[in-house]
Chains A and B, each alone.
Chain A
């Protein structure tokens, strides 16, 4: 070890918001501006150009990664993680600052980039491999391995449009996983396929990390990051907030989530969607408005403004490591659901979700909330709220902290035992 694989110095990337990056999108507007500019100039009423709104997606990121290091990059949505990876992969140029990478770079920002539905599995392996930067000979040498890893031998000559979605992502990941470069840049690509395949892909990534290659890895799943990386870089608002051993970086990140959930929901800027509907508050409460405990009734409320005719709300509960535990979806209706009629869209409306017995083990959890209109996401806030679950009683059975997993399940045992006097005789 010792040699530097990646180095960046005050690397920044700005986007012009609204005008989509570069001047006007429309040739007609541009031409008409060019035509009227001299006239306006003569008449002395040349309007000053509107100041463009600049988004600093990445600001002054300086860091250095040694050869063979596996570094996890963490942060909220919109923290600049993807922009950072895009600049490092040369997909887009930095606005200022510089970076240098020593060694061949392979980047996986998406699984199955360039897959064409009409082409067969075999054809797509070669095409996708070439797009990722592999040579034909290299692909040919690893062809059998790729096919075996994806487990699609029988469908090699079938167009991938006839593949199940599972087969499709398995094949796509498999090609990518066989990319042999010194530096590997990976965006959240492990979250594909079924559980068994995810384990397999994680194993593959661990093998890559052990081979001594340099890996930059982005994931929202802290457990995966913790398993793979030694060091973590925590980005927030395009800046490096922490660059430390992985556990410290994750701690810093979780602390920031806590802070974020303390700020007023309407003030939060780390949200996405159309925002015609806006969430104003998300709350979690236990029975009688008290603390939340395992096995007790729990109530999730989402208050919002700008209600539309068919608004749905979904709550994803994640554990402290960012692994999803369960999702509650109001669009998935049941006969027991109730409807509350709001007179006017301007009036605040509330989604209420009640759980008769909270199936969560004691610990800290957070909720990602998404509000959808008829077709698109209207408002989405990750880690809208954090909450602690206290030890409680589920169906008369006490549930304490140090158990396996995140969920507490209602259950009943039938236990075989010996009669007391039979033991004596």
Chain B
């Protein structure tokens, strides 16, 4: 028997449809125990309504939680995560609210960080080093790379320590642990939206835009989200177990920045290396942003293909690794 979800878990209905009852409590009543249950030890719940129990407590359906040891790889339990989507929202809003309480600039930080870095890059790489920028004014070129990069770096940095930072939750309450890294990436996502608006303003100032291809920024944002979550899942799981990994994070992100075409254009690299190069998922994202928003001269095809595959692999493997590690989480933290 697989590890079953708890009350708000699987919305697996048995027998006839319509078993997804919404009770007065507003909870979605999940799985019904089948009438002809063959599972030993489960008494049919309808036979067992204690007198005086409010209707919303026993409304005919019962949830069954099984507690057993699991081994090896387990299912992702995404239904469970979906059932807890409200918690996901609450955790993300908590992170956002807390980040901007008692700060001078508030959401201004989300703008300041990429803009200030863009200025530095423009002076150092644009003016002094005179790097080519695919036919786009260098400041816009740099900012279009920094906006998705800053999101990625913040999200990965926060997600890596998210389990450690939420130890009190993990050791005291049950909920699908995947909620924590997902909520953390979601919270960083708000910054991306804010700085994205700034990018649009700067684009208007420089008179650069990409026409209809600008719509492609939506799937590209999804790709950036996937990349941040995939890497974040791996790192959060590893950091929970090996505390020294968190000290590596600043270096890792710095190397990663230079392995990504943020300050320079990937056209500097020979074309034959592009497929390999774009295994770094942020290559496809950053070049994609420039291609769609700025109409830059880049051969996006191979980069996008390679990066998308890489994101998929990272996401799936990260999620499974996370789940595998999750069972010992409360004991390790």
A94-B94 Cα distance, complex, nearest whole Å: 32
A384-B278 Cα distance, complex, nearest whole Å: 66
Q: Are B25's CB and A28's CB within 8 A?
A: no
User: B53: which of A68, A96, A101, A138 is its contact (CB, 8 Å)?
Assistant: A68
Let me know if B69 is at the binding interface, CB within 8 A.
yes
Let me know if B129 is at the binding interface, CB within 8 A.
no
Q: Are B48's CB and A116's CB within 8 A?
A: no
Q: Are A4's CB and B43's CB within 8 A?
A: yes
Q: Are A180's CB and B56's CB within 8 A?
A: yes
Stretch at the interface among A18-26, A37-45, A215-223, A240-248: A18-26
User: A114: which of B26, B63, B97, B168 is its contact (CB, 8 Å)?
Assistant: B168
Q: Are A104's CB and B58's CB within 8 A?
A: no
Stretch at the interface among B110-118, B169-177, B258-266: B169-177
A136-B90 Cα distance, complex, nearest whole Å: 10
Instruction: Enumerate chain A residues within 8 angstroms of B69, measured Cβ to Cβ.
Output: 93-96
Let me know if B104 is at the binding interface, CB within 8 A.
no
* Interface members, chain A 155-182 (any B CB < 8 Å): 159, 180-182
CB distance from A118 to the nearest CB of B (A): 5
Q: Interface readout for B314-333 with A: 1 if CB under 8 Å, 0 if not?
A: 00000000000001101110
A114-B91 Cα distance, complex, nearest whole Å: 10
Q: Are B171's CB and A3's CB within 8 A?
A: no
Q: Are A182's CB and B27's CB within 8 A?
A: no
CB distance from B88 to the nearest CB of A (A): 9
Let me know if A365 is at the binding interface, CB within 8 A.
no
A67-B86 Cα distance, complex, nearest whole Å: 29
Instruction: Enumerate chain A residues within 8 angstroms of B41, measured Cβ to Cβ.
Output: 4, 7, 100
A137-B44 Cα distance, complex, nearest whole Å: 29
Let me know if A257 is at the binding interface, CB within 8 A.
no
Task: Select from chain A the residue with minimum beta-carbon distance to B53.
Answer: A212
Let me know if A351 is at the binding interface, CB within 8 A.
no
A69-B122 Cα distance, complex, nearest whole Å: 71
User: A105: which of B7, B169, B327 is its contact (CB, 8 Å)?
Assistant: B7
User: Which of B168, B173, B244 has the largest number of chain A CB atoms within 10 A?
Assistant: B173
Let me know if A91 is at the binding interface, CB within 8 A.
yes
CB distance from B3 to the nearest CB of A (A): 9
Q: Are A127's CB and B47's CB within 8 A?
A: no
User: A102: which of B63, B168, B171 is its contact (CB, 8 Å)?
Assistant: B63
CB distance from A109 to the nearest CB of B (A): 5
A102-B63, A119-B94, A127-B90 known; A2+B7 contact, CB < 8 A: no
Interface size on A, residues (CB 8 A): 68
Q: Are A25's CB and B242's CB within 8 A?
A: yes
A104-B6, A133-B7 known; A88+B67 contact, CB < 8 A: yes
Q: Are B101's CB and A22's CB within 8 A?
A: no
Q: Are A130's CB and B70's CB within 8 A?
A: no
Q: Interface readout for A394-414 with B: 1 if CB under 8 Å, 0 if not?
A: 000000000000000000000
Q: Are A21's CB and B26's CB within 8 A?
A: no
CB distance from A8 to the nearest CB of B (A): 8
Let me know if B45 is at the binding interface, CB within 8 A.
yes
A89-B172 Cα distance, complex, nearest whole Å: 9
Instruction: Enumerate chain B residues within 8 angstroms of A99, measured Cβ to Cβ.
Output: 66-68
Interface residues of B, dominant DSSP: loop
A141-B26 Cα distance, complex, nearest whole Å: 10
User: Which of B27, B44, B50, B330 has the largest number of chain A CB atoms within 10 A?
Assistant: B50
CB distance from A130 to the nearest CB of B (A): 4
Let me know if A87 is at the binding interface, CB within 8 A.
yes
Let me know if B15 is at the binding interface, CB within 8 A.
no
CB distance from A221 to the nearest CB of B (A): 21
Q: Are B65's CB and A90's CB within 8 A?
A: yes
Let me know if B102 is at the binding interface, CB within 8 A.
yes
CB distance from B226 to the nearest CB of A (A): 25
* Interface members, chain B 183-220 (any A CB < 8 Å): none
Let me know if A107 is at the binding interface, CB within 8 A.
yes
Q: Are B101's CB and A118's CB within 8 A?
A: yes
Instruction: Enumerate chain B residues within 8 angstroms of A133, measured Cβ to Cβ.
Output: 7-8, 173, 175
A24-B50 Cα distance, complex, nearest whole Å: 49
CB distance from B251 to the nearest CB of A (A): 14
Let me know if B245 is at the binding interface, CB within 8 A.
yes
Instruction: Enumerate chain B residues within 8 angstroms of A87, measured Cβ to Cβ.
Output: 67
Besides the known contacts A30-B242, A102-B43, A118-B102, 7 further A-B residue pairs in the complex with CB atoms under 8 A apart: A4-B41, A22-B331, A26-B242, A27-B245, A99-B66, A123-B97, A135-B25
Which 8 A/B pairs are nearest by Cβ-Cβ distance?
A3-B48, A104-B7, A137-B26, A27-B242, A99-B67, A90-B174, A21-B331, A68-B50
Q: Interface residues, chain B, CB within 8 Å of chain A?
A: 6-8, 25-27, 33, 41-45, 47-48, 50-54, 56-58, 62-70, 86-87, 90-91, 94, 97-98, 101-102, 168-175, 238, 241-245, 327-328, 330-332
